[in-house]
Amino acid sequence: MTDNSILLIPASQFTIDQLVAIYNQTRVDYMVPMPMNAARLEEYIRTYDVDLDHSLVATHHGDMLGVAMLGLRADRAWITRLGVIPDTRRRGTGLALMNGLLKQAENLKISFSMLEVIKNNVPAQQLFLKLGFYEVGELLVLRRSPTVPPPDPIVADARRLQRAEALDLVGRYRGTQPWTNQSESLFNAQDVSGLRLTLADGSEGWLVYQRQKFTLTRFAYKTETGDPVTMAWAFLSHLHHHFLRLVTQLENIQVIDPHLPAFYQMGYIESFRRIEMWRGSVPGTLRLSSQG
């Protein structure tokens, strides 16, 4: 099989159930499987601005070989959910899908693309390097169990934020966030709210989050004044005291985030790491430093 014999078909020509089936087949032996169902995939598409017309399914003589999806925002593209069925690998399918998505972005006049690859997935990382991507940093996937008792909340002036107030904070410039944590992702998410704290020493900061049925996720936060570790400990102590029974799952927290020590002290554990990779010149909207 060669690239020329692989047919790339827009993902929009398949049902959600078909896309779930092909995606799950590609992940059966993956380092971190992350299986999907129809509801989760629909939420993923909506939250991350995945464009199925420009996403692709690879086929050969009618057989589905793999899938790759493309998120699109004003001046940037995101490559995600790339997978090839195990017994059809090493035949150029991954390369064909990647070239296809990059061509889709090029046709849309988008020259900057982002992706993440699980750390130590060497074959995928080598493919991306070959295509002109470069590493920009490591990202953490963190989890906290509700069986870990939170400390008593730090004494503070704490104010709950409804969706509109929370998104007003998130909508301000937040720098080079991974795609999953960009402001657009929170704007697209449901059940978003927040918390603003002022400590006795005058330190101030805020946390915005999504509450799902059993899970807290999609954190955005900022220390406006004061020490980031102290501020993070404060807003996490209030958050987890309020939501005692919810699991917390966070994706793509930058390893250079100055708030991280407080997360570990609060009982968060590392599930795995990703390498963030970019291709092309960074758009002006993403050039400043990330949240601090």
Mean pLDDT of 108-116: 96
CATH number at 40 reads 3.40.630.30
Task: Answer for the pair 266, 233: CB distance below 8 angstroms, yes or no.
Answer: yes
Domain that holds residue 83: 3-111
| Mean pLDDT within 30-51 | 92
pLDDT in the model for residue 42: 97
Task: Work out how many domains the chain is built from and give that number.
Answer: 2
Give Cβ neighbours of residue 62 (< 8 Å, ≥ 6 apart). Answer: none
Query: Does 79 share its domain with 210?
Result: no
Report the pLDDT value the prediction gives residue 172, as an integer from 0 to 100: 75
Q: Quick one: which of 225, 171, 228, 219 has its CA closest to 193?
A: 219
pLDDT in tens, 55-92: 999 998 888 899 999 999 989 999 999 999 988 787 88
Q: Is residue 157 part of a domain?
A: yes
CATH number at residue 266: 3.40.630
Task: Say if residue 47 is in the same domain as residue 183.
Answer: no
- The pLDDT of 118-143, averaged and rounded, is 96
pLDDT higher than threshold 70 for residue 4? no
| pLDDT band per the 50, 70, 90 thresholds, residue 171 | confident
Q: Is residue 80 part of a domain?
A: yes
pTM of the model: 0.91
- Please write the tens of the pLDDT for every residue from 172-198: 766 779 999 999 999 999 999 999 999
> Helix (H, G, I), strand (E, B), or coil: what is residue 171?
coil
Q: Alpha helices, DSSP H only, in 12-92?
A: 16-26, 38-47
Q: Are 103 and 160 part of one and the same domain?
A: no
Determine the 3-state secondary structure of 273 from DSSP. strand
- 249 has a pLDDT exceeding 60: yes
Using one digit for the tens of pLDDT, what is the confidence trace for 91-111?
Answer: 889 999 999 999 999 999 999
Model pLDDT, residue 288 = 46
Same domain, 281 and 149: yes
- Residue 228 per-residue DSSP state: H
> Does residue 103 contact residue 63 with C-beta atoms inside 8 Å?
no
Asked if 174 and 290 count as a contact pair (C-beta separation under 8 A), the reply is yes
Work out the pLDDT band at 34, boundaries 50, 70, 90.
confident
Average pLDDT of the chain, as a whole number:
92
**Is 187 inside any structural domain?**
yes
Do 275 and 139 meet the contact criterion of CB atoms below 8 Å apart?
A: yes
Using the predicted structure, report yes or no on whether residue 17 has a pLDDT greater than 70: yes
**pLDDT per position as a tens digit, 196-213:** 999 999 999 999 999 999
The neighbouring-strand residues paired with 205 are 197, 223
Whether residue 120 is contained in a domain is answered as: no
Check whether residue 175 and residue 95 sit in a common domain: no
Same domain (yes/no): 35, 90: yes
Asked whether the predicted pLDDT for residue 138 surpasses 90, the reply is yes
User: Among the three residues 90, 111, 132, which one is the final residue of a domain in this structure?
Assistant: 111
